[in-house]
Each structure stands twice: as C-alpha cells, then as structure tokens.
Amino acid sequence: MALFGKNKYTLVNVKKKNIPDGIFSQCPECQSPNYTKALKDNLSVCSHCGYHFVLTAHERLQTLLDADSFEEYDRNLLTEDPLHFQGPKTYKQKLDADRKKTGLQEAVVSGKGKLKGRSVHIAVTDSRFIMGSMGSVVGEKITRLIERATREGLPIIIISGSGGGARMYEGLYSLMQMAKTCAALARHHEAGLLYISVLTNPTMAGIMASFAGVGDVIIAEPKALIGFTGPRVIEQTIRQKLPPGFQRSEFLLAHGLIDMIVPRANLKQVLSQVIDYTSGGA
C-alpha cells in the first residue's frame, strides 16, 4: 500500500497526441477507420468492407463524366414556398440553410456531358439537400432534362440517392412531380431512347415510386437501401419479421426488381458498355 501511496511512484498520465479532424473517416458499416485521402482515392469506398460512402452530386459527376465535359442546366431555378409551410423551421429557412451548407440551389444537379466520349444527359440527386427529396423544382429540372434528351435523341442517366422521397413541404405540388417525370420518361421510351436508372443508398419513397423505378436498365450500388417505406415501419405495420437483407440491393436483384449491382469503381465502364450495346455500337 505504501508503494502506491507515495507520489513519486504514481502513474504518469500520458496525453494522447491530438489527431486533427478529417484525417480519418470511420466506416458506418464495419466501424473501421479509413485514412480520408486514401478513402477519396478509392472513390469513397471502405477498403475494409466495401461500404459505399455517400457522394455529393458533383463528386458523382466527376467519377463518371469525362473531364471538363459537363454543362449544367437550369441551375438558377428556385423553389417557392406555395404552402407557407410552418414547423420547427419554416420551409424557406430550411431551403436557405441547405443552400448555404451545400452550395447547391436545389437537391438535383442536371445537365449534359460526355461519358467515354459519348454524349449523355445526366441528373444526380444530392442527399445533403433535404435528403435529396423531390419538390417542384427537382421535378421540373428532371423533366426538362428528359425532354431535352428526347429532342436530341440522347440517352439519359439519373443517379438517385434520396431518403426523402416527395417533399412534404410542398404537398401536392411535390406529389405531381412523380407523374410528370414518368410521363416525360414514357415519351422518351416511345422515341426508342435509353434511360438508365442508378440507385444509391438510400433510394426511397416517392423517388423510387417514380422516375428511379422505371429505368430501361436499373443498376444499384452494393448494399443500397431501396424501397418505398423503410423496413422498421413495415415490420411495425405487418407485425412480422422481415427476411434478412430485405430492401437491400442484393435482395432486390434476387427478386427481379433491379437488373444488376455494380460497385462504384466499375460503374463508368458498365454505363459505357450498356450505352454502346443498346446503340448497336454506333
């Protein structure tokens, strides 16, 4: 006891070196640390378990399109507040906050670019902006993109990552975008043109129930959560335990809802091959 009672024998508290924020990123799936620079070089895919981190809209465009080929459409379309929605934050406050946080005007970036030399029209939702949900401007931008692609006879790629679905802040103004985007895609299909839908984690609700679910070819990233209502809500409603992996990409591929699962590193090549195949290699 005397040994531990003497100050000269007390244990020394060694301070851990402070690691600056942002040096490591913890994987939400396996909890392993990833060196952030190496993670970025690996297209934000965990080197330990293959978990696909969320990408911003512009990061996705950079991974898929040829350098300096992207021309953005309708950037300055701005959402109104038709219902004067009130809550903990007003709709206008929510829009202003997400614009400041993301540098985006809305939850989708749309435009024209080249993918391995081929011209494509492309739209990408960004989950940082009200969870990538679809309001009137998101629906309008996607519809305009589809109509341009139809006029120009070009394929469309839409990359969806929305856990927000149709945007409640706009009520029916948001819900009608589901029909509007699908109607434009139907005309694109009637013209014999290609639409590829790429589903990322998560793609849910009104997004999945509209343009994301009607691609001529539907591709998903590994382990993406895809569906209309989340699994916990379904279990509480039907009072039954759902099968393992329910609503994940692998489950949906096995049951025929999607056509293929493609890791992010292979996506550009696969998209190029699909476009070449469906166009006869012209």
**pLDDT (tens digit, 9 = 90+) per residue, 153-205?**
999 999 998 877 888 899 899 999 999 999 999 999 999 999 999 999 988 88
**Confidence band, pLDDT 50/70/90 cuts, at residue 242:** confident
Q: What is the phi-psi region of residue 124: left when phi exceeds 0, alpha when psi lies from -120 to 50, beta otherwise?
A: beta
For residue 5, the model assigns a pLDDT of 54
Which are the contacts of 66, defined by CB distance < 8 A and separation ≥ 6?
113, 114, 115, 116, 117
Task: Tell me what the pLDDT averaged over the chain comes to.
Answer: 87
What is the DSSP track for the chain?
-HHHHSGGGSPP-PPPPPPPTTSEEE-TTT--EEEHHHHHHTTTB-TTT--B----HHHHHHHHSPTT--EEE-TT-----TT---SSS-HHHHHHHHHHHHS-SSSEEEEEEEETTEEEEEEEE-TTTGGG-B-HHHHHHHHHHHHHHHHHT--EEEEE--SS-B-GGGTHHHHHHHHHHHHHHHHHHHTT--EEEEE-S-EEHHHHTTGGG--SEEEE-TT-BEESS-HHHHHHHHTSPPPTTTTBHHHHHHTTSSSEE--HHHHHHHHHHHHHHHTTT-
Q: Which residues pair with 218 in a beta bridge?
A: 197
- What are the backbone dihedrals phi and psi of residue 179, each rounded to the nearest 5 degrees, phi first? -70, -40
**Confidence band, pLDDT 50/70/90 cuts, at residue 82:** confident
Cis (ω within 30 of 0) for the bond into 202?
yes
Q: What is the mean pLDDT of residues 89-116?
A: 93
The whole-model pTM stands at: 0.84
Check pLDDT > 60 for residue 54: yes
For residue 148, the model assigns a pLDDT of 96
Residue pair 33/25 in contact by the 8 Å Cβ criterion = yes
The domains located in the chain, with CATH, are: 17-53 (no CATH), 54-278 (3.90.226.10)
Percent pLDDT > 70 in the chain is 91
For residue 236, the model assigns a pLDDT of 82
**Which of 21-25, 165-169, 185-189, 231-235 comes out lowest in average pLDDT?**
21-25
Q: For residues 32 and 10, which has the higher predicted lDDT (pLDDT)?
A: 32
Q: What is the mean pLDDT of residues 100-123?
A: 94
